[in-house]
A and B are shown apart, each in its own frame.
Chain A
Amino acid sequence: MDRLKVATIWFGGCSGCHMSFLDLDEFLIDLADKIEIVFSPVVDAKEYPENVDVCLIEGALCNEENLEWLHKIRKRTKAIVAFGDCAVTGNVPTMRNALGLNNDVNVLDRAYRECADHNAGIPNEAGIVPTLLKRVVPIQEAVHVDLFLPGCPPPADRIKSLLVQVLEGKSPVLEGADLKFG
C-alpha cells in the first residue's frame, strides 16, 4: 500500500511547530512506515509535488511568497492542516497589524533601520526578497483549510493524536485537552 504523502511548510512563524513535530520522537519511526514526507523544511525536495494527501502549514501569511505558495499548495493538496496558532489565528506575527495602515513599511523601518547597529537599510531585491503583505492574516483568510490544530506550539501528543486519526481514515475531531490556543 502506498504511504500517505505528507508535506509540511513553514510560513511566518518561529519553526516551533516543526520542532514540536520532531518531538514525536520514536513515533516518527512508526510514522516512517505509514507516511512519506514529500516536501518539508526537513527534507530536500525543492518543488512542491502534485497529489499530496496532507500538508501541515505552520505560520501566518506575511508576504507575497507565502500567499503564492499557499495557493499552489491548495491546488495540489487534498487536505490542509493549519498547524499551530500562527496558521490558525495569525498569533504573534499579526501584532504588526496594529501598527496601522503602513505597518508593512513601519515594521521594516523598525527592524532594519532603527534597530540596526550597522549597515542600516531595508533589504530589497526584486524577485528575491518578497514584499510584505499589508496585513498579516491566518491562512484560512485566503484558502479553505480542512483541519485546525491550534497551540503555540501544539505539543507532540496533540500532533500525534491528529495524525493517528488521519491514518485511521477518520475525520479528526479535536476536543478537550487536544484543543487549546497558546
Chain B
Amino acid sequence: MDLSELTQIKERELAARKKYTLRCCMAAGCVSSNSEAVKQELEKAVVEAGLQDQVEVRGVGCMRLCCEGPLVQADPSGMLFEQVDPEAAKSIIQTLKGGKAKARVGDANAPFFKKQKSIVLANSGIVDPERIESYIAADGYHALYHVLREMERSEVVEEIVASGLRGRGGAGFPTGLKWGTVAKSAGSRKFVVCNADEGDPGAFMDRSVLESDPHSVLEGMAIAAYAVGAEQGFIYVRAEYPLAIERLKNAIKQAKAKGLLGAGIFESPFNFTVDIRIGAGAFVCGEETALMMSIEGRRGTPRPRPPFPAESGLWGCPTLINNVETFANVAPIIRNGAQWFAGIGTEKSKGTKVFALAGKIQNTGLIEVPMGTPLRTIVEEMGGGAPDGGRIKAVQTGGPSGGCIPADSLDTPVDYESLGKLGSIMGSGGMIVMDQTTNMVDVARFFMEFCMDESCGKCIPCRAGTVQMHHLLTKIMEGKGTARDLQKLEELCDMVRSTSLCGLGQTAPNPTLSTLRFFRHEYEQRLQPDTFGPRGNGKPARATPSA
C-alpha cells in the first residue's frame, strides 16, 4: 500500500456514490429496535422501485438520537426518519421522489444535532463501519501515511502535546505527556493498549465509536505506536459488546488485508499488529494496572503505582494505555493540525467530548460538544429537558466515580476543572439526568452497591469499607439510620477515599459525598432519633458524685 493506492481507493469509492443515499443506523441501540430488518426492507424496496442505480442503502454507525431508533436519514435532503418500522420502507423510498413517508419525520436541524461539534463522531452515522473503503473515502488512514512517511517520532509526540489533548477515560491526564514518557522509556519491547473496557453504568460512547468507526481507533493506535516505538497493540474490550467486537475483528482483518496493519506499513520500516482481548465482566479492569493483569491472563487486581505502566506495564515493558475516544481524536489532530484542535474548547480542556445522555430526559443518545459547553445547553436545549413535564433535579456525571451536579449549577461549563470543583469528574462521558422523582440517597446507595460488587477484594478499605458504607446507606434509606450512622458514613467516605489502593476505591465514595453535599436534607429527613440514651462523658467518678 502506498499513497497512490490509498487515493485510488478513495476516488473509486467516491465515484461509486449514487444520487441518493439512505443511511440506516446499525449501532447496537437501533439494532435492538430491529434496524437490520429496516435496512433489508429498504434494500428490497429500492430493487422493487427499480432505483438500484440511483439509491444506495448504507448501514452506518450511530446516528445519536438513540431514543427515536431505528433511525434512517436520506441524502442529500437530510430528511430524518424516526422509529422506522420495516413496513415503512417502501414509503421512505417514495419520499425521494416527493412522496409522503409512513414514518415519523424528525427534525434534523433540532438543537440536539445542530449544537454538536463532531471530531470523534465525524464519521459516525456517515461511513459504513464494515467497509474500510468507506473509511478511506473519508480521508481515513491518510494521517497514518503522513506520520509514517513525513514525520519523526518526536514530532508526532510534539504535535499531540501541542494539541492539548487529555485522556478521555476519566482523569484527564495530558495525552502528549504520557506518549512522551513511553517514548523515552528504555526497552526494546513496548506496547500500546486501547482501553475499551467501558464499564461505567450509563456510558456507551466508546461502544458507539467502536461500532461506528472502528478504523479511526485502529489508525489512532497505529500513530501512537509509531510515536512511542511499539509494534504490538491490544484492544481490551468488554464481552458485553459483541457487536463492537465483531466490527473490530472485521476492521482489523480488512486493515491487514490492505497492508495498513502488519509489517512495513506504507512501505516504511514500521510494523504494527493489533490483537483483541475480550474482558470478562469486571469493572475494575478499567483501571490500567488491573487491565494489564487481565491481558496477561490473571485476576484483574490492580497494583500500586508507581511504577506507572509507561515505565513498567505489560510483561514489565513500557506500555501506553489510552481510552477509545482518546485514540479516535488522534487522526483528526494529525490531519488538521494541533492548532486547529487547540482552538476548540477551553483554556485547559481542549477539543470536544462525547457524552452519553440518558436517564430522565427527552432526547437520549450520543452527543459530542466542545469542551466548556454549559451543562444547561446540553440537558435543556439539546436534551430537551425532563420528559412528562418533570423537573430536572441533578445530572450525574462520571458514573460510580463521579458525582451529582444539582440543577442550580447547570450553568457550569463542562470541562475537567469545573466538574472537579463540584466534586464530580468528567469520567468517560456518561451523563444521567435525574428528575424530582429520583431519590438521591437511593442513587448513592445504587452506586455504592455497584462499587461493593465490583471491588476486586485486594485492599481492605475498598473491600470491607464499601460493604460498611453500603450497609449504612441502606440503613438510612430504610429509615433506620441515626445521626451516628451518618457520621460514621462520612468518616468512612474520607477513609476509603484516602487509603484505597486504586481508583475504584478512591472514588467509590464520590457519589455519596456529592449527594451529601448538595442533597444533605434528603439524608437528614430519613434519620431516626437516636435511642442510644445519653452519652456519658467517660468520667463517672467523684467529679460528678451522685447526690
- Residues in A lying within 8 Å of B, measured CB to CB: 1-2, 4-5, 51-54, 71, 74-75, 77-80, 142-144, 146-147, 166-172
User: B543, A143: Cβ atoms under 8 Å?
Assistant: no
Q: How far is the CA of A138 from the CA of B72 in the complex (A)?
A: 65
Interface string of B511-547 (1 = CB under 8 A from A): 0000000000000000000011111111111111111
- Residues in B lying within 8 Å of A, measured CB to CB: 531-547
User: A79, B547: Cβ atoms under 8 Å?
Assistant: no
CB distance from B528 to the nearest CB of A (A): 14
User: A143, B532: Cβ atoms under 8 Å?
Assistant: yes
A-B contact pairs, 18 of them (CB 8 A): A1-B545, A2-B546, A4-B540, A52-B546, A74-B533, A78-B544, A79-B536, A79-B540, A142-B532, A144-B533, A146-B538, A146-B540, A166-B541, A167-B541, A168-B541, A169-B543, A170-B539, A171-B537
CB distance from B344 to the nearest CB of A (A): 57
Nearest 10 interchain pairs by C-beta: A79-B540, A74-B533, A146-B536, A169-B541, A79-B536, A171-B538, A144-B535, A54-B540, A169-B543, A51-B546
Across-interface contacts of A75 in B (CB, < 8 A): 533
Q: How far is the CA of A144 from the CA of B535 in the complex (A)?
A: 6
In the complex, besides A4-B542, A79-B539, 19 extra interface pairs with C-beta distance below 8 angstroms are A2-B547, A53-B545, A53-B546, A54-B540, A78-B540, A78-B546, A79-B536, A80-B536, A142-B532, A143-B533, A144-B535, A146-B535, A146-B537, A146-B540, A166-B541, A167-B542, A169-B539, A170-B539, A170-B541
User: A4, B541: Cβ atoms under 8 Å?
Assistant: yes
CB distance from A18 to the nearest CB of B (A): 19
Across-interface contacts of A79 in B (CB, < 8 A): 536-540
CB distance from B537 to the nearest CB of A (A): 8
Residue picked from A1, A78, A166, A170, most chain B C-beta under 10 Å:
A78
User: B545, A147: Cβ atoms under 8 Å?
Assistant: no
Q: How far is the CA of A4 from the CA of B546 in the complex (A)?
A: 8
Across-interface contacts of B547 in A (CB, < 8 A): 2, 51
Across-interface contacts of A147 in B (CB, < 8 A): 538
Across-interface contacts of B533 in A (CB, < 8 A): 71, 74-75, 143-144
Secondary structure class of chain B's binding surface, majority of residues: loop
Across-interface contacts of B534 in A (CB, < 8 A): 74, 144
Across-interface contacts of A80 in B (CB, < 8 A): 536
Q: How far is the CA of A71 from the CA of B546 in the complex (A)?
A: 20
User: B532, A166: Cβ atoms under 8 Å?
Assistant: no
Across-interface contacts of B546 in A (CB, < 8 A): 2, 5, 51-53, 78
Across-interface contacts of B539 in A (CB, < 8 A): 79, 169-171
Q: How far is the CA of A152 from the CA of B545 in the complex (A)?
A: 31
Across-interface contacts of A172 in B (CB, < 8 A): 538
Which B residue sits closest to A140, measured CB to CB?
B532
Across-interface contacts of A146 in B (CB, < 8 A): 535-538, 540
Across-interface contacts of A53 in B (CB, < 8 A): 540-541, 544-546
CB distance from B543 to the nearest CB of A (A): 5
Across-interface contacts of A167 in B (CB, < 8 A): 541-542
Q: How far is the CA of A171 from the CA of B536 in the complex (A)?
A: 11
User: A74, B532: Cβ atoms under 8 Å?
Assistant: yes
CB distance from B482 to the nearest CB of A (A): 11
User: A144, B536: Cβ atoms under 8 Å?
Assistant: yes
Q: How far is the CA of A144 from the CA of B530 in the complex (A)?
A: 10
Among B532, B541, B542, B543, point to the contact of A144 (Cβ < 8 A).
B532
Which B residue sits closest to A53, measured CB to CB?
B540
Which A residue sits closest to B533, measured CB to CB?
A74
Across-interface contacts of B532 in A (CB, < 8 A): 74, 142-144
User: A1, B540: Cβ atoms under 8 Å?
Assistant: no
Across-interface contacts of B536 in A (CB, < 8 A): 77-80, 144, 146
Q: How far is the CA of A169 from the CA of B442 in the complex (A)?
A: 47
Across-interface contacts of B545 in A (CB, < 8 A): 1-2, 4, 53
Q: How far is the CA of A51 from the CA of B546 in the complex (A)?
A: 7
User: A1, B542: Cβ atoms under 8 Å?
Assistant: yes
Residue picked from B537, B541, B543, most chain A C-beta under 10 Å:
B541
Q: How far is the CA of A172 from the CA of B538 in the complex (A)?
A: 8
Which B residue sits closest to A77, measured CB to CB?
B536
